């Protein structure tokens, strides 16, 4: 087993044992208090002392757990219980069967100590009740020399109390372990379900990636082969043809780059901690570099972009994540806009201290009633076999970024001519 996996397993085991101790000590507390009351009513000072030791032990154990001194808490309350049971056994007649409670205290180490990482304390706390029981048995429970209560009182009062204490604690341990086992089984089922979903997601990713990456790769290799064949044959390549071929290669390369970036961004988002520093970000300043990056794609498709975002709008966010959202939304708009069409980007402040940034294109829009499915990973909404490149992770990734910054992305289904996507983010306070 790798070292880090073993360390995690041991840490989980200790946490589980600590939880068992917390539950167990709270269960023991009312039994100890009940024995204290019974001893007082029987006018048995030494039995009251034993019950008092047990009660103070469990109260101290609860307190030590509260202050995160978990090992000390377990040793303290279980050790006090052993001492209390031993003293009670020596000052009451055998008819009270007080020594039977040692069975419960002998079970304790198996529940609250880890045999792997706490071998010493496990051994000590297991040997202690067994040794104390043998001492009582060997001396016929007459170590103190006298019994505080009569045999009749022990048989009628203490014996039933012993039975209740023993069976109550043992049955509780069994019931609690059954509960934990069921909870762990549920966790395993959930982990299995998530693993199956993850496996299916990976399969979907591989299918989508293999399909979408082949198209630009074929374009790159195809036009490069044309140029290579002309060069080997010694033919002069016309300027117009060279520009055409190189434009196709550049376009396919940009498409392939975007696909790979989206894959890496999506993989990193699912693998890493989704937190980053937020700050005051200018929407205009963050959007302009993204628009410049897509200038070639806009020109190739002869799409007009109207950037109507003012330079005085600021949001609270992470500039890297915000630029990633703009990249996804603008890339989608360009993909689906009509050749020679128009895209508009506008932004405005809302009354609820948020800023709304709207991307609008004149493409086919989202299928009616299925807009929400666009945020599911690998969902292409019917474009799986079309000519539009993509792997279906752009919008899900953008939504994750938006939510991490306290915002959201909304698809406006009321728009009939094209697609309109609204990004809502918290507004930055005025300086």
Q: pLDDT, tens digit, for every residue of 124-173? A: 999 999 999 988 888 877 776 678 888 888 888 888 988 888 888 888 87
> Given this model, what pLDDT does residue 314 score?
92
Residue identified by tokens 């019994």 is: 147
**Higher-pLDDT residue of 345, 194:** 345
| Statement: residue 256 has pLDDT above 80 | no
Whole-number Å distance between alpha carbons of 93 and 98? 8
Q: Would you mind telling me the total number of residues written for the chain in this entry?
A: 431
Can you give the pLDDT at residue 282?
A: 92
Q: For the residues 177-190, what does the mean pLDDT come to?
A: 83
Instruction: Mention every residue, 6+ apart, whose C-beta is less than 8 A from residue 77.
Output: 21, 25, 28, 57, 58, 60, 61, 62
Q: Which pLDDT value is given to residue 2?
A: 47
Residue 69 has pLDDT above 90, yes or no: yes
Angle, nearest 10°, between helix axes 394-404 and 319-336? 150
Average confidence (pLDDT) over 256-277: 61
Output the pLDDT for position 271: 45
Lowest mean pLDDT of 10-14, 47-51, 97-101, 180-184, name the range.
10-14
Long-range contacts of 136-142 (CB under 8 A, 24+ apart): 136/86, 136/89, 136/90, 136/99, 137/99, 139/90, 140/94, 141/89, 141/90, 141/92, 141/93, 141/94, 141/99, 142/90
Mean pLDDT computed over 350-374: 79
- C-alpha distances (whole Å) from 44 to each of 94, 148, 159, 238, 294 are 15, 6, 15, 113, 90
**Which of 74-78, 170-174, 220-224, 344-348 is the least confident region?**
220-224
pLDDT at 210: 59
pLDDT tens digits, 381-419? 444 444 444 445 677 778 888 888 888 888 887 777 888
Q: How confident is the model at residue 179 (pLDDT cuts 50, 70, 90)?
A: confident
The confidence band for 206, taking pLDDT boundaries of 50, 70 and 90, is low
Question: How far does the chain reach from its first CA to its final CA, in angstroms?
Answer: 55
Q: What is the pLDDT of residue 380?
A: 46
Q: What is the pLDDT of residue 215?
A: 63
Spell out the residues 6+ positions from residue 101 whose beta carbon is closer than 8 angstroms to its own. Answer: 85, 88, 162, 165, 166
Structural domain boundaries of the chain? 3-193, 207-271, 279-426
The pLDDT tens digits of the residues spanning 295-317 come to 888 888 888 999 999 888 899 98
**CATH code reported for the domain at 207-271:** 1.10.287
Rounded average pLDDT over 39-63: 91
Place of tokens 């989508």: 208
Which of 366, 380, 379, 425 has the alpha carbon at shortest distance from 401?
Answer: 425
As a whole number, the mean pLDDT across the chain is 80
Fold entry, domain 279-426: Heat Shock Protein 90 (3.30.565)
């Amino acid at each position: 087993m790798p070292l880090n996996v073993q360390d995690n397993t041991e840490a989980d085991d200790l946490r589980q044992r600590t939880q068992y101790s917390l539950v167990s000590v709270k269960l023991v507390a009312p039994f100890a208090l009940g024995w204290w009351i019974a001893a007082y009513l029987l006018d048995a000072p030494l039995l009251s002392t034993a019950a008092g030791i047990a009660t103070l032990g469990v109260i101290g154990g609860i307190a030590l757990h509260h202050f995160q001194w978990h090992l000390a808490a377990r040793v303290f309350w279980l050790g006090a219980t052993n001492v209390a049971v031993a003293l009670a056994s020596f000052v009451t007649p055998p008819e009270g069967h007080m020594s039977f409670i040692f069975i419960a205290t002998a079970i304790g180490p198996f529940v609250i100590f880890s045999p792997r990482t706490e071998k010493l304390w496990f051994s000590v706390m297991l040997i202690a009740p067994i040794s104390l029981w043998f001492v009582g048995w060997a001396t016929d429970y007459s170590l103190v020399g006298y019994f505080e209560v009569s045999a009749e009182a022990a048989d009628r009062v203490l014996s039933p109390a012993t039975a209740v204490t023993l069976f109550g604690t043992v049955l509780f341990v069994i019931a609690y372990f059954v509960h934990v086992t069921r909870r762990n089984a549920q966790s395993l089922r959930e982990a299995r379900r998530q693993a199956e979903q993850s496996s299916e997601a990976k399969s979907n990713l591989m299918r989508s990636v293999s399909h979408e990456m082949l198209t630009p790769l074929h374009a790159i290799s195809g036009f490069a082969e044309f140029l290579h064949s002309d060069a080997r044959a010694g033919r002069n390549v016309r300027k117009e043809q060279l520009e055409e071929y190189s434009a196709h290669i550049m376009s396919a390369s940009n498409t392939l780059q975007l696909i790979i970036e989206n894959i890496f961004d999506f993989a990193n988002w699912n693998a890493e901690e989704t937190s980053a520093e937020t700050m005051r970000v200018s929407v205009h300043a963050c959007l302009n570099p993204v628009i410049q990056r897509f200038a070639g794609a806009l020109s190739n498709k002869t799409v007009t972009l109207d950037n109507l975002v003012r330079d005085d709008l600021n949001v609270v966010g992470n500039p890297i994540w915000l630029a990633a959202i703009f990249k996804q939304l603008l890339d989608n708009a360009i993909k689906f806009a009509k050749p020679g069409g128009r895209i508009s980007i506008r932004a405005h402040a809302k009354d609820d201290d948020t800023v709304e940034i709207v991307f609008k294109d004149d493409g086919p829009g989202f299928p009616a009633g299925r807009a929400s499915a666009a945020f599911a990973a690998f969902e292409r909404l019917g474009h799986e076999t079309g000519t539009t490149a993509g792997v279906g992770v752009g919008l899900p990734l953008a939504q994750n970024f938006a939510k991490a910054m306290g915002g959201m992305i909304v698809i406006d289904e009321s728009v009939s001519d094209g697609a309109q996507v609204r990004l809502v983010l918290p507004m930055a306070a005025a300086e």
